[in-house]
Structure 1
Amino acid sequence: MAKVNWKSAKYESEKGFWANFPSLCKGCGLCIEKCPVKCISWSEDLGVYGTPRVEADMQKCIVCGICQMVCPDCAIRVEKNK
């Protein structure tokens, strides 16, 4: 059984970082649906409502920020390196 992890999950690459905040993620899946490169998937950890939260594969992520824009709960933060 998966467990709730309340700490933010941060994924980094040379392009930037992607962070998920489990205390805000309700597991709606909009970010997975809208990601243009399909780098977001369900995590084994649970979010705030006991639903699966998401994680990013930074090898595929283009750090576009679309997931951050479509998240209705502000549970994702994306930042490009300069």
Structure 2
Amino acid sequence: AFSAAQWLLLLVFIIPVLLLSGYAVVSLIGRPDLGVGGKLLWLILILVVPIIGAVLYFMLRPAPQEQNRRAQAHHGKH
């Protein structure tokens, strides 16, 4: 029941957005330097405003090396 234009829109726009959002969520869940509260806030943002939330997340998150360094500093008190 989709027209060609709707299929094109789906392929060009919606699928990349879903992939980006999905990748953002997976990356977010795997971060060692964020607590549950921080992850939840990002998750809500990514899900409520998928494009803006995911783009903001990738712009604002520290690089993986920085995340690991932060996590070690955070857990290094034991």
Q: Same fold (TM over 0.5)?
A: no
TM-score, normalising length: structure 2: 0.31
More strand by share: 1
Q: Which has the larger radius of gyration?
A: 2
